[in-house]
Amino acid sequence: MTNQQEWVFDEIDSVIRTCCGAMFGPERVPSAWASPEPGTEVRATSPDLFSFIDFEGPDVRGMLVLRQRKQDVLASHPLPRLDRSDADALDWASERANQVAGRIANRLNVKGVSIQIGLPATVYGRTNDPVCDFDPPARFVLTYEGESVRAYLCARVRDPNSATDDPPVRRSTSEGAILLF
C-alpha cells in the first residue's frame, strides 16, 4: 500500500473513531484498534442488528458496517416505549447508521476525501463478523469494538498514481447546524 493510500485509510480510521465516539459515547471508543483474527467467530446470544452502508467517491469506495444490539438500539430511540417491535429496531438502527455515515462523510469532505453515502440496509444476524472480499489494496479494519457497537470498514482506495491534483480543501456543515436561506 502506498503512502497516499495509507493516508486515506488513516483519515478514515480517525474519522470513524471520532464519529462513533460522538454517537455512542467516547468512553466506549477503544484505546487500540485491531484487525479481526482470521477465523474468529463472534456469536451473539441473541441476534444483533447489522447495518450496511455503501460509500463511494473519487478517492475511495467501500462499505461501513455497524453491528448493534437490539436493546441498545431501542434504548436510544427518540420515542422510548416498551412495546417497540423488531421493525422499530431495524428502522432506528438504520437511522443511527445513517447518522454515523453522514458524520463520517462530512468530516472526510473537510479533509479533501469526498464520498457519497448510500442508503442503509439493516438485517438481523447471529453470524460471524462481516467479511471484506476486496482484493488488495483493500483493508478490512475492525475500527470499533465497544459494549454495544462494532464498526467495520471495508474500503478500496484509488491508485494515487492516477491522481491529478492534491486533495482540495472543501467545506462541510457540521451536525446540528441550521442554515436558513
Chosen residue from 37, 136, 165, 179 binding another protein by CB under 8 A: 179
C-beta closer to another protein: residue 116 or 128? 116
- Shortest distance in whole angstroms from residue 168 CB to another protein: 11
Residue 127 vs residues 78, 93, 123: alpha-carbon distances, Å: 28, 18, 11
The DSSP symbol for 142 reads E
The DSSP symbol for 34 reads B
Q: Contacts by 13-16 with C-beta closer than 8 Å and gap 24+?
A: 13/141, 13/143, 13/153, 15/103, 15/104, 15/107, 15/108, 15/111, 16/64, 16/104, 16/143, 16/144, 16/151, 16/153
Does 68 contact another protein by CB under 8 A? no
C-beta closer to another protein: residue 32 or 79? 79
Task: Using the rule CB under 8 A, give the single segment among 6-14, 109-117, 129-137, 150-158 that binds another protein.
Answer: 109-117
- Shortest distance in whole angstroms from residue 15 CB to another protein: 13
Does 92 contact another protein by CB under 8 A? yes
Does 82 contact another protein by CB under 8 A? no
**Selection from 111, 127, 135 nearest residue 16 by Cα:** 111
Sites for another protein among residues 158-177 (CB under 8 A): 170-177
**Selection from 134, 130, 126, 133 nearest residue 143 by Cα:** 130
Does 71 contact another protein by CB under 8 A? no
Binding site for another protein (CB under 8 A): 77-79, 87-88, 91-92, 94-95, 98-99, 101-103, 105-106, 109, 114, 117-119, 170-181
